[in-house]
Amino acid sequence: MNFGDRQFDFIRPSFTRISNGLKVVTVPMPGRESVSVAIWVRAGSRYETKGISGVSHFLEHMLFKGTKRRSTRQIKQEIEGVGGILNAFTSEECTCYFAKLLKGHLSRALDVLADMVNHATLDAAEFKKEKPVILEEIKMYCDLPAQYVHELMGELLWPDQPLGRPIAGTLETAGGINRSEMEAYRNRFYHPRNLVVSVAGDINHREVVRQCEEHFQITRKKPAARYAAPSIRQRKPETCFVEKPTEQTHFVIGLRGYSRVHPDRYKLALMNVLLGANMSSRLFDEVREKRGLAYEIKSGLNFFEDAGSLSISAGVETKKAATAVRIILRELEKLRLKKIGEGELRRAKEYFMSQLAMTLEDTLEHLLWICEAAVYRDQLPDRETVKRQIERVTAEDLQHLAQDLFKNRNLNLSLLGPVEASLQKKIQGQFEIHES
């Protein structure tokens, strides 16, 4: 496969591990005016015990509430006052604090982010004020059916284990966290051996390493964070129905997939494109264009270090929910039974590589892509490797993948809406894949 005449910039990232265990990753992008900086912590929802579920996310908020040197306002103004952006996110496996600004302000960004990660005071008064904000955020997610139904799916895929819990926690668990528990959690996970500092832009690796050595002089000897492997006990299709007076019925069909290091992950990425990643996809064409059942129908992937999932989601008129679910299952069956055509496969490959190339033009997006791997491994991804992996995928590969994943013992459905018992029973009665 020749992806047109595009030329890829294959300047490789560099990484150095300094003496206290901190990993520094730089992504050279010559000619860019912007620079992006991020500090990653191996601390996310799957590291938490059930009693403090949501503490990683709560702690993320608290790092913006002041340090020994800066107030909340000063933290924000130092970055935004020079035209930059400052933000953070928490996932199942990490917490990331990042800034994007003009390259002349790189030192400022590193100083602010390092100050937050190393010296946040977790002030008791700020903790008390921020807890209601966290609880309102959780309530907001519960009031967004298109999002809440994905949380229900997580509980089906990973029952009674950290991967299946909401990242923000619940009203009970987040509401019950106290400051001393948060401080103990911070001390356990926020140390150099558990951190990655990354920078992308027109920068010098040695200079970034030098600045990191200045900002991270802590030498606490602690092991890197670890978590328990997911447990899978499913033997048949599983469903979860939540009756709620919404205008639409929202549902997710979920299947466990592959990890971010699995050899077939690029095959799964192409399968996702074919299914529902764009308006040319099979699900968009069948569910929306041909039948007009949904405004939005899409598929998506979650990759973890040792697990993963594929999800298909839609919002439909309640009385059409059973039909929509049945049609989606029939599309999965088709992929099991018949190889896709070469033209469809070529278009999927072109779409995947083009989207990747356009995404990586941006310093922040490039940084996020590289460091999803760098947080856990020393072997960093590059586009040439991705390109070779995508080129190797065949129609037979995708059919075998469909036969491996699209099975009844891997099939799950979460559904939220005004669905009465009779409709629930109807959906359950047809919720299966014909595997022959």
Q: Domains in the chain, ordered, with CATH?
A: 14-215 (3.30.830.10), 238-430 (3.30.830.10)
pLDDT at 12: 83
- Residue 198 in 3-state DSSP? strand
Give the span between the Cα atoms of 293 and 296, in whole angstroms. 9
pLDDT, the chain, mean: 94
With residue 195 as reference, give the H or E element that holds it: strand 195-201
Residue 436's pLDDT band (boundaries 50, 70, 90)?
Answer: confident
Write the single-letter amino acid at 357. A
Residue 195 to residue 209: CA distance in whole angstroms:
14
Average the pLDDT over 416-435 and give the result. Answer: 94
Dig out the tokens for 111 from the structure: 């100083």
**Tell me, what's the pLDDT at 226?**
85
Active-site residues: which are they?
Answer: 60
Place of tokens 């150099």: 192
* Res. 5: pLDDT tops 50: no
Note the pLDDT tens digit of each residue in 65-107: 999 999 999 999 999 999 999 999 999 999 999 999 999 999 9
- By the 8 A CB rule, do 54 and 67 touch? no
In the predicted model, what is the mean pLDDT of residues 314-328? 97
Helix (H, G, I), strand (E, B) or coil at 18: coil
Least confident span in 18-22, 344-348, 413-417 = 18-22
Mean pLDDT, residues 246-262: 97
Give helix 124-142 / helix 55-62 axis angle, nearest 10°.
Answer: 130
Categorize the per-residue pLDDT at 9 as very low, low, confident or very high, splitting at 50, 70 and 90.
very low
Q: Which of 178-182, 225-229, 294-298, 344-348 has the lowest mean pLDDT?
A: 225-229
- 138: Cα within 13 Å, side-chain hemisphere: 22
Q: Name the least confident of 43-52, 209-218, 282-291.
A: 209-218
Closest residue by Cα to residue 363 from 135, 180, 202, 182: 202
Confidence band of 220 (pLDDT split at 50, 70, 90): low
pLDDT at 383: 86
Q: In the beta sheet, which residues pair with residue 35?
A: 101, 201
Which residue blocks in 248-394 are alpha helix, DSSP H?
Answer: 265-276, 282-283, 321-337, 342-359, 363-374, 383-392
| Tens digit of each residue's pLDDT (9 = 90 or more) over 44-74 | 999 999 999 999 999 999 999 999 999 999 9
What pLDDT does residue 128 have? Answer: 98
What is the per-residue pLDDT for 372? 81
373-405: per-residue pLDDT in tens?
888 888 788 888 999 999 999 999 999 999 999
Report the alpha-carbon distance of residue 101 to residue 112 in Å, rounded.
13
> Could you tell me which of 300, 209, 273, 250 has the C-alpha nearest to residue 414?
250
Rg (CA), the chain: 23
